[in-house]
């Protein structure tokens, strides 16, 4: 038997104000998208905003359905819309923010596993890393320079 060690490096910003102005603007787009979420069951609202290399910003919000699991997360809503509307554009950055009606969300909320896999697909497709910023309503913001930092043993088309 052999053991391997896998490490990831993430950067943590103490506050939203510590982000660069362009990332603040993208995160504000995620805030706006978050406020358009349809989340009557979980009351957990997530917004995402994707910056493409053509300068377009594509928003997405979680969309729930009484017939679980027919809903879709904010990240996948945005990434699939970006892929459909701008199929040749590369994703440069994704900003994600979450809030709950039930309690304050002060910790960064990372993408779920399904969203990580969807982001991985686009990172492999475009052959370049995607910066990911995520936070709650307030508080710290985490930055990953690539999806590989969040999903180091990702499944991709090389296995097919």
Q: Hey, what domains does the chain have and what are their CATH numbers? A: 11-139 (3.40.140.10)
For residue 155, is pLDDT > 90?
A: no
> Which residues are catalytically annotated?
75
Taking the C-alpha atoms of residue 8 and residue 86, their distance in angstroms, rounded to an integer, is: 30
Q: Quick check: 123 and 130 in contact, CB under 8 A?
A: yes
Q: Quick check: 71 and 109 in contact, CB under 8 A?
A: no
Give the other-Cβ count within 10 Å of 84's Cβ.
9
3-class SS of residue 6: coil
Q: Is the dihedral of CA 82, 52, 24, 134 positive or negative?
A: positive
**Higher pLDDT among residues 137 and 70, named by residue:** 137
% of the chain at pLDDT higher than 90: 92
**In which element (H, E) is residue 122 found?**
helix 113-126
Q: For residue 91, what pLDDT is reported?
A: 98
- The pTM score is 0.95
φ and ψ at 23, to 5 degrees?
-75, -35
| 36-95 tens-digit pLDDT | 999 999 999 999 999 999 999 999 999 999 998 889 999 999 999 999 999 999 999 999
For residue 144, is pLDDT > 90?
A: yes
For residue 154, is pLDDT > 90?
A: no
Q: For residue 160, what pLDDT is reported?
A: 87
| 93-136 tens-digit pLDDT | 999 999 999 999 999 999 999 999 999 999 999 999 999 999 99
């Amino acid at each position: 038997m052999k053991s391997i060690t896998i490490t990831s490096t993430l950067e943590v910003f103490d506050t939203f104000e510590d982000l660069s102005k362009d990332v603040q603007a993208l995160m504000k787009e995620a805030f706006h998208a978050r406020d358009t979420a349809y989340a009557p069951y979980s009351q957990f609202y997530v917004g995402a905003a994707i910056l493409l290399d053509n300068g377009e910003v594509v928003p997405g919000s979680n969309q729930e359905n009484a017939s679980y699991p027919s809903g879709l997360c904010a990240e996948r809503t945005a990434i699939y819309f970006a892929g459909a509307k701008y199929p040749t554009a590369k994703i440069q950055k994704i900003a994600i923010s979450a809030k709950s009606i039930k309690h304050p969300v002060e910790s960064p909320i990372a993408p779920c596993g399904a969203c990580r896999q969807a982001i991985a697909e686009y990172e492999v497709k475009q052959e370049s890393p995607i910066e990911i910023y995520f936070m709650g309503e307030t508080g710290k913001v985490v930055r990953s320079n690539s999806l590989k930092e969040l999903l180091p043993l990702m499944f991709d088309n090389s296995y097919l």
